[in-house]
Chains A and B, each alone.
Chain A
Amino acid sequence: MKFVLTGGGTGGHVYPALAIAESLKTRYDTAGFLYIGVRGRAEEKIVPGLGYPISFVASAGVTGGLTGKLGAGLRIGIGCLQALWILIRFRPDAIIGTGGYASVPAVLAASVLRKLGLSKAKIFTHEQNYAPGRWNRLISRHADRVWTSFIDSAKFLPGADVEFTGYPVRSQISRIDKVAARRKLGLDEKARVLMVFGGSQGARTINRALVAALPALLKDKSLVVLHGTGASSSREYDAAADTAGAVEALGLEAHQLERYRPCQYFTDIQTYYAAADLLVCRGGAGTLNELLTCGIPSIVIPKSNLAGEHQAVNALALAKAGAAEVIFESPVAGPCGTTAVVDPALLERTISGMLADSSRLEQISHAASRMRVVVEQSVFANSVAAVLAGGRPAAAPGDHGQPSWGNMETVRLAGLSPSGVLAHAGKALSAMDAAAVEQHLNIRLLRYLADVYLVSPRWQVRNMGVKLTGLAFHRQRRDLLLTMAGERPAGSVWKKLFSGNTGQVGFVRRNALTALTRIGQWDFRLEALLHECLREDPYYEVRVEAARCIIELEQHSRDNALLTQCLLSNLSHRSPEVRWSCIEALGVTGDAECLVKVSDKLALHPNWRIRQALLRAVEHLLVRGVITAGHPLVQSVEQLIPTCTDFNPSFPLKRSLNRLRQLNRPESDKTKRGGGGKAEQ
């Protein structure tokens, strides 16, 4: 028996492949293995270390712009040719792919060989996440059997032969005695051990946040920090060097440095897991399954902007079950746009809070252990044997006591495009008030998604983030919205000519104001922003929105002389929409004086919407009690031209139809279900 294993790019795809290999070894003693991976990625270090031979092919993730995509396509094409050659020489009986772009060339090559009749190798794939990614969906079409970690995942793979197996955690990951583990690592038994680990390639935001939090953390004399920086050494980020440099710059004392132990990679990770009191990690399926197996309390910081935001979904599921704490990356306005960072102060607070509360750690550990699905090692070997023997379809999944990792709706929502998420949120939230939104099932996910969109380099997505922030009453981002709407960075002359010296495009500024109005909190910063928008914003809709904000938040903005001045300066604005919005807002902020001066002219204005705005303003004044019924302003408004060039059509037939429908509701419901309800639309 000869098997080809493939999968990689990150450790999360490599370890399941190796776990499956171990399972196969127990059944096929003399089996030969060959791993096909990509040079320079996680598999290059891990696989030879565990004694499996490895061959390399070219491949790349399809990301970036057109050139990036073309380049990746070219590499995958070359990779397929390389894999063809490797497979022809190795002649495997089965190919096991665990996803990631590294597995694409080998699986495609294998299916090509099979089509040509040159090979009879069976193809198996394993899906680690709840919702399969793009590559895994592509690959599963060529597979003889798809193994999944979740019962529900079959829904995403129509037509494939799906078997639910669970997530194969490496056999060496198991519970080890804490005392023994600490002795092995030379750690004090009474020390509090914090383990920080951003995955095999490292996580920049986690590394930087940790380093920034170090001085505060290491004040606790019993704390030891084990930091796996990750092996990434690309041009843009060299994890180990960057971290070492930052730590040096902190100027820590010798006794503190002694308790900070960085390394690129934890080679004997189970010992570290056992020794740690608390783990800070990413939310990939691999890491989470390992920490559930070991029952370690953890702070999960999901990587954002992944396909389907699966790390965020995973992390939220754990948080809901009480099996982990979640910190999301949050957007911060910087000199060159907004960026996502982990707030070091928040990280430090959460870590010290959790380490100080041992009963809470105990609870989390307990909940984590309960969430774990135990996968029997023989499952994979049996499945392979069954397919090789005759290939009857997989039996219906038994109940392995799968705990719920989030619900279908959450996963669906996370998998939508930004505009899809926004449409969903608009439908669900727009009619709700702040208190009701707080109770919404997916509010945490929606706020997280808003954060993700807010840091997008594309203004279209940022704009959707701004709208979502408002819809979800995301108060923590209020300051960011204020900054975005009012930003005036020094730009180039060209930019100033075309869009004024604003940091964000017009739609973003307008929607930031709409969101601030919806959030509804009034303070001097908002007031200053409104001044600025009404005085100098080059985009008319921003001014309209500012006036609307003043009207909506009437109880805060009334009798405000400064705002009145700003509004008056807009009465000759070239956009009529700005004019009529500002006239109405004057009724809120101003007194009778400011309107008396202009009322004669406005009452005879040819555009009825301006005349209507005057009436509304006077109405506001009357309601506020600033003027009374006999006031000269009311008299002069009586002289207004009452003609109006617009009207709402009213169709009597449709009114009758609606009345009949109301009387006939149960009947019409029936016909609708029977397919006869077409006429109702």
Chain B
Amino acid sequence: MIYYLCKYVLETVPGLEWTRLASYISIRSIVAAITAFGLILLLGNWSIRRLYLSGARDTIFDYGFTDPESKRGTPTMGGVLIIGAVLVAILLWSDPANPFAQWVVAAMLWFGGIGFYDDYLKARHQDSRMGMSQGAKLFFQSCFALVFMLFYLSNTASPLDAERIKLLQGIEGVTAADYKFWLQVPFIKEPVLDLGWLYVPFGMFAILAISNSVNFADGLDGLAIVPASLTAGVYALFAYIIGNSIYSRTLLFTHIVGSGELSIILAALVGAGLGFLWFNAFPAQVFMGDTGSMALGGILGVVAIMLKQEFLFLIAGGIFVAEGASVLIQEKIGIRLLGRRIFHRAPIHHNFQHFGLAETKVVVRFWIVGIILTLISIATIKIR
């Protein structure tokens, strides 16, 4: 809204040229981040109280590492706070007519909604087993993923339609119209593979895998929010470059007009994440719950596909990949099929706790790994 207001003022009222600042994506990104951060800080204590009084309290499934009484009763569903702050920041600072922004908001609300319902069921029964079944969650997630992928690859309503794509010079065999069917990989500047309609199952898998692995990572105080913010930061940088005609040409990215708007949303997410960490740092005053982890995962999944940087997630979101893969291997292959544990514990952060690391230590080490992975991800911008 402020974006439109400034644009209007700039055109009509002489002497207020400083409003031009709002047309710069970099400035809007930073302001959006500060807005979201400030909102959470301002409303944090009040909303934590509201959450507690409305019965949103955690009944954590205890793995036997900490005193069972130690975390029970902590307010949960803090994801509502993140979603709210990001939403306000987007409404204030981004262009609501931008299709990239619209899809991200849709994903955030849909995935956040699934997580909210799951949290609601758990809180109502005060039993972590009474949430939605794994199948139901996957079903609703795939509904969104399918609709999104069909729109994404459609001729008329795709955010990546032909006039938005400015291909790199010297690339042959790819046209702007079917760029959306092509796969891009880190370290290689050309699109590598034309997936055709196989992009639908591939994209669905990517969205489901990303959103669920963020969910698995949300097991210790501050473990999900910091790596999620770092990953969002990496994607914000990529969105800024890909959405900028000059930088994209210099750094040999295919320019996608309008995708710069994503960097505002992701920056708002980073700001909200830092604000949330204020309260979520060990010992947590609030958990994000599935509401938060699903919404974060949904946003990251959709962004990764719209920027054609799905494989970047393997690096930037390496922590989530490790968490998700460890759970999948442990549960599906080990416990279901072979009848034995493959890792000592899963998700992987419980493994470290089992070997005698305190929760705080595990979390900080994961942050360190996350920062290193972020640095590597940023290096891929140049190494291509």
Contacts and interface: CB of A to CB of B under 8 A. Distances in A.
Contacts of A609: 355-356
Given A647-B358, A681-B72, A463 B338 contact: no
A658 B73 CA distance: 14
Interface string A619-648: 000000000000000000000000011111
Interface string A81-112: 00000000000000000000000000000000
Contacts of B338: 498-499, 505-506
20 contacts: A460-B339, A505-B338, A505-B340, A506-B338, A506-B339, A539-B340, A541-B340, A541-B341, A577-B344, A607-B355, A609-B355, A646-B353, A646-B358, A646-B361, A654-B69, A654-B70, A658-B69, A678-B55, A681-B57, A681-B59
Contacts of B355: 576-577, 607, 609
B67 interface: yes
B358 to A, nearest CB: 5
Contact of B339 (A463, A644, A681): A463
A649 B67 contact: yes
Nearest to B356: A609
Size range of the interface on B? 20 to 34
Contacts of A646: 353, 356-358, 361
Interface in B93-134: 126
B340 A507 contact: yes
Contacts of B67: 648-650
Interface in B36-72: 55, 57, 59, 66-67, 69-70, 72
A338 B1 CA distance: 72
Interface of B: 55, 57, 59, 66-67, 69-70, 72-73, 126, 283, 335, 338-341, 344, 353-358, 361
The secondary structure that dominates the B interface is loop
A463 B340 CA distance: 11
Size range of the interface on A? 20 to 34
Nearest to A678: B55
A459 interface: yes
A541 B355 CA distance: 14
Nearest to A463: B339
Contact of A607 (B55, B344, B356): B356
Contacts of A498: 338
Interface in A484-507: 498-499, 504-507
A272 interface: no
A533 to B, nearest CB: 14
B70 A505 contact: no
Given A607-B356, A646-B358, A681-B57, A651 B283 contact: yes
Contacts of A649: 66-67, 70, 283
Nearest to A460: B339
Nearest to B355: A576
- A-B CB proximity, top 6 nearest: A505-B339, A506-B340, A609-B356, A646-B358, A507-B339, A539-B340
A679 to B, nearest CB: 8
Given A646-B356, A646-B358, A506 B341 contact: yes
A545 B28 CA distance: 59
Interface string A539-554: 1110000000000000
Given A576-B355, A648-B66, A681-B126, A499 B340 contact: yes
A681 B71 CA distance: 11
Which of A508, A607, A649, A654: most chain B CB closer than 10 A? A649
B309 to A, nearest CB: 36
